[in-house]
Amino acid sequence: MQASVTPFDLPLLASSLAALSGVGPVTAKRLAARGIKTWGDGLFFLPARYQDRRTPTQVQALEEGRLAVVRGRVVSGGLLGKKGKVYRLFLEDATGRLACLWFRFKRAHLESFSPDDELFVVGEVSLGNKGEAQMIHPELYRAGDVGPDHPSVGRIVPVYPEVEGVGAGTVRRFMGELVQRSTELIFDPLPGLLPKDIYPMPAAEALSKAHQPNHDATPQDLDPDQAAWRQTLAMNELLYFELGLVLKRRGREASPAQALDPPGKLLAGLLAALPFSLTPGQQEAVGLIQGDLARSHPMGRLLCGDVGTGKTVVAAAAACLAVEAGAQVAVMAPTEVLARQHLATLSRYLEPLGVSVALAVGGGNGADQAARLAAAQGGAQALVGTHALLGQKLSFANLGLVIIDEQHRFGVHQRLALAAKAKSPHLLVLSATPIPRTLALALAGHLEISDLPERPQGPHKVGTMALEFEHRKAAVDELSAVLGRGEQAYVICPLVEASDKIEAQDAVATARNLARYFPDQRVELLHGRMEGPEQQEVLGRFRSGESRVLVATTVVEVGVDVPEATLMIVLGAERFGLSQLHQLRGRVGRGVKRGRCILVAGPNPGDLAQQRLAVLAKTVDGREIAEADLHLRGPGEAMGERQSGLPPFKVARWERDARQVPRLREIIAVWLKEDPELAGEKLAPVKKEAIRRWGRRLGLAEAG
């Protein structure tokens, strides 16, 4: 989900950076490679840190490793050595002498400085062979040229993230021009509406202070994680997103929908046929869904449950209510593997009750496409599929309930496209990926949330151990033991094929090597690049026991149920989010035998790997794991940036700022109580801005 509007309602921010002095075609291209194309992008290309160049330091007070500004006069300068590859200049003040050295230099420039010239030098202090202070490649400025407005001396200088091929000075110059030409024009309606402790200053002032700190800035002001300007910009983003969610929810609740309120005979039949009793969490979720469906406005509910908590049974119960009320049900899954698993499970639950279930996946011949259309137009009461359900030609006879599994893998526009195939259908979204409560509330604020904390068939425990790369042979030994007992195993790799850019195990080579190592066992390969029918053939042989080892990518993360599989080996485990690893290990131990998961780190796992994998080895609680990953790596890494449904924030970070969401919601609730339509002089601009930023992405009606 990419930002497609300017960060503030100022058309000037859509201008190209090439309109700024010093940004030629080559520089503009290099900036664009970093995702910095417009003035709006530039304003949020924030400094990574700052250099305090406000006050010169005397030579005798210089500290090794610290950046310093020194004012002094030139004593001497010249080339060093017979080959003249080093230029040295001595600068002196009242307390001592400083050596300045250059190994790459323009000789004419350095020779332009003569003895007794007064200069400012800026650089990092190091020590020479005799312990004397020196600077390597310092910046030089003539004292006569340094005035109150000098860009590099006598002020705090922002240090921006590196842009390949663009000098730091160039970036500072055009960013300074950008701030001066744009920030004063930014209108911010939020000051006065939000308390100062969470919104300390107007957004324009925050941006100005971020790029050009005041001369009296404190150490906290110069800490990008603690500065008041960061607080303002983060809350600005969060406030408008949360208001967008509230507007979406209100719009849904105001829309008419079919009330699906049948006597409940199908539901009773389903519950009577189950070989287990519903858990308290499932019973509560079914009761809430039943109440939601009976209303004349669309249900919007997120069902969160860990591995094995029975989300599909709850979805089947919802389908029974919808079908008995005369409506159709559409179930959308992100992969064909998962869609076919849902088809098998829902068919097992629903077809004995007389409910027809059909499959709609992409590809196939004309007959397959015709079958999909016929099923949607009344041939099936429940249609299970992938993105094929979104096809323009696919229309439903009477779609009343949309169920979306693994909802974080679909963009908002995809969910809206499916919902648009009916007049305000009821919506149930499922998440097998554990989501920390704070994150779920922030991301799905327009939905009611139901949790499934228990498992119908008891705790699903998988023994987990982490191995360092040099001990990986132990995983092969365990695989050998498992195969010797007639059991089955998964081996998961981060890549399909070897890559020149990423040092990690690939599935193709791993499958080939294991087939050689275990010549008496059938080793299969499965990955997302394979066609659907080929995937199903491979899975079919693994389910039947014809093959004993399945080497795969994360295509098996959900939707694969093989009771005889007892071992999961994950190679390059540090490359996966903890919640993803938790999902993967949920594929084993699904029968009567206990499962085991071995996480094998790569050769260079990084500092966080040991901490993260230790969390997984310690607990089987998916929520606890998700919380740990959120705080260790952030949601984009933990959940997968492309698959997490995360809004494209520039400053706000969920792991740090989501704690403010409840307070922002309380403030929004007060606004709505005082001005239900947000039409008053103070709040109308806020509503307009929320719709401008999020209208298209959240499917909100345009302001008017």
Q: Is residue 39 part of a domain?
A: yes
Considering only residues 409 and 326, tell me which one the structure prediction assigns the higher pLDDT: 326
500 token code pair: 């020149």
| CATH assignment of the domain containing 107 | 2.40.50.140
- Is the same domain home to 410 and 530? no
Is the pLDDT at 304 greater than 60? The verdict is yes
Q: What confidence category does residue 416 fall into, taking pLDDT thresholds of 50, 70 and 90?
A: low
Which residue, 110, 109, 115, 123, is CA-closest to 70? 123
Distance, CA of 178 to CA of 341 (rounded, Å) = 54
DSSP structure class, residue 637: I
Task: Locate 445 and state its tokens.
Answer: 């604020």
- pLDDT score of 638: 40
Share of the chain above pLDDT 70, in %: 88
Confidence of residue 211 (pLDDT cuts 50, 70, 90): very high
Q: Is the pLDDT reported for residue 411 higher than 60? A: no
Mean residue pLDDT of the chain comes to 86
The average pLDDT across 409-421 equals: 61
Q: Are residues 325 and 404 in the same domain?
A: yes
**pLDDT recorded at residue 192:** 94
**Same domain assignment for residues 148 and 15:** no
Instruction: Tell me: do 497 and 561 sit in the same domain.
Output: yes
Q: Which of 416, 373, 423 is CA-nearest to residue 393?
A: 373
Encoding tokens for residue 291? Answer: 């109440």
Angstrom CA distances, 270 to 266, 275, 318, 344, 383, stand at 6, 10, 11, 15, 18
Whether 409 and 279 map to the same domain: the answer is yes
Helix (H, G, I), strand (E, B) or coil at 92: strand
- Asked, for residue 94, whether it belongs to a domain, the answer is yes
Question: Tell me, what's the pLDDT at 432?
Answer: 66
H-helix segments, 274-394: 280-293, 311-324, 336-350, 366-374
**pLDDT band with cut points at 50, 70 and 90 for residue 547:** very high
Q: Is residue 255 part of a domain?
A: no
pLDDT, average across residues 628-650: 55
Name the residue among 176, 166, 171, 63 with its Cα closest to residue 123. Answer: 63
Q: Is the pLDDT of residue 649 over 90?
A: no
The answer on 405 and 288 residing in a single domain is: yes
215-240 pLDDT tens trace = 899 999 999 889 999 999 999 999 99
What is the number of domains present in the chain?
4
Q: Is 158 helix (H, G, I), strand (E, B) or coil?
A: strand
What integer pLDDT is reported at residue 645 of this predicted model? 47
Q: Are residues 527 and 545 in the same domain?
A: yes
CA distances from 221 to 59, 182, 428, 472 (A): 27, 22, 45, 48
Alpha-carbon span 203 to 199, nearest angstrom: 9
Indicate the pLDDT class of residue 697, thresholds 50, 70 and 90: confident
- Cβ-Cβ contacts under 8 Å for 174 (sequence gap 6 or more): 17, 20, 21, 22, 23, 42
- Going by DSSP bridges, is the β-strand pair 139-142/118-127 parallel, antiparallel, or unpaired? antiparallel
Same domain, 188 and 131: no
Q: What is the pLDDT of residue 533?
A: 84
Which of 452, 475, 494 represents a domain boundary (last residue)? 452
Q: For 212-273, give the DSSP string.
A: S--TT--TTTT-TTT-HHHHHHHHHHHHHHHHHHHHHHHHHHHS---------HHHHHHHHH
Coil, strand or helix: which one is 27? helix
- Same domain, yes or no, for 312 and 180? no
User: Rounded mean pLDDT of 391-396?
Assistant: 76
Question: Which of 22-31, 143-152, 435-444 is modeled with the greatest confidence?
Answer: 22-31
Among 189, 223, 257, give the residue marking a domain's end.
223
Instruction: Give the end-to-end CA distance of the chain in Å, rounded to a whole number.
Output: 25
Tell me the backbone φ, ψ of residue 290, rounded to 5 degrees. -60, -45
- What count of residues does the chain have? 704
Q: Name the residue range of residue 314's domain.
A: 265-452
Out of 71-75, 367-371, 377-381, 486-490, which region has the weakest mean confidence (pLDDT)?
Answer: 367-371
| Matching residue, tokens 């992938």 | 386
Q: Which residue reads 């908590």 in tokens?
A: 309
Measured CA to CA, the distance from residue 125 to residue 588 in angstroms comes to: 57
pLDDT at 692: 94
CATH of the domain at 518: 3.40.50.300
Based on the domain organization, do 612 and 495 belong to the same domain?
Answer: yes
| 333-349 confidence digits (pLDDT tens) | 888 888 888 898 999 99
Q: Judge whether 624 lies within some domain.
A: yes
CA-wise closest residue to 703 among 688, 681, 690: 688
Beta-bridge partner residues of 68: 123
d(CA 688, CA 685): 5
Residue range 51-78, pLDDT digits in tens: 999 999 999 999 999 999 999 999 999 9
- pLDDT of 3 > 50? The answer is no
Instruction: Kindly report, residue by residue over 165-205, the tens digit of the pLDDT.
Output: 998 889 999 999 999 999 999 999 999 999 999 999 999 99
Indicate whether 703 pLDDT > 50.
no
HSE-CB at 300 with a 13 A cutoff on CA atoms is: 21
Of residues 429 and 319, more confidence is placed in 319
Count CB neighbours of 107 within 10 A: 11
Cα atoms found within 13 Å of the Cα of residue 208, Cβ hemisphere only: 14
How far is the C-alpha of 610 from the C-alpha of 522, rounded, in Å? 33
Strand 86-93 relative to strand 118-127, pairing: unpaired
How many CB atoms are located within 10 Å of the residue 14 CB? 13
Instruction: Provide the pLDDT for residue 702.
Output: 46
Q: Which amino acid is at 626?
A: A
Lowest mean pLDDT among 277-281, 492-496, 620-624: 620-624
Task: Say yes or no: 64 and 35 in one domain.
Answer: no
* Residue 35, Cβ density class (10 Å: 0-12 exposed, 13-18 middle, ≥19 buried): exposed
Tell me, yes or no, whether 440 and 332 share the same domain. yes
- The answer to whether residue 678 is domain-embedded is no
Contact yes or no for 89/119 (Cβ under 8 A): no
3-state class (DSSP) for residue 62: coil
601-636 tens-digit pLDDT? 888 776 667 777 888 888 777 777 766 766 665 554
* 666: pLDDT strictly greater than 90: yes
- Please classify residue 607 by burial: count the beta carbons closer than 10 Å to its beta carbon, then call 0-12 exposed, 13-18 middle and 19+ buried: exposed
Whether residue 238 lies inside any domain: the answer is no
Token pair 């779609």: residue: 399
- As a whole number, mean pLDDT of residues 291-307 equals 88
Q: What is the pLDDT of residue 444?
A: 60
Q: Is residue 61 part of a domain?
A: yes
H or E stretch at 583: helix 578-585
At 403, which helix (H) or strand (E)? Answer: strand 399-404
Decide which of 395, 429, 452 is a domain's last residue.
452
The yes-or-no verdict on residue 445 having pLDDT over 70 is no
Strands (E), 114-243: 118-127, 133-136, 139-142, 156-159
- List alpha helices for 450-506, DSSP H: 473-484
Q: Which residue has the higher pLDDT, 376 or 523?
A: 523
pLDDT at 414: 60
DSSP state of 16: B
- 673 in a structural domain: no
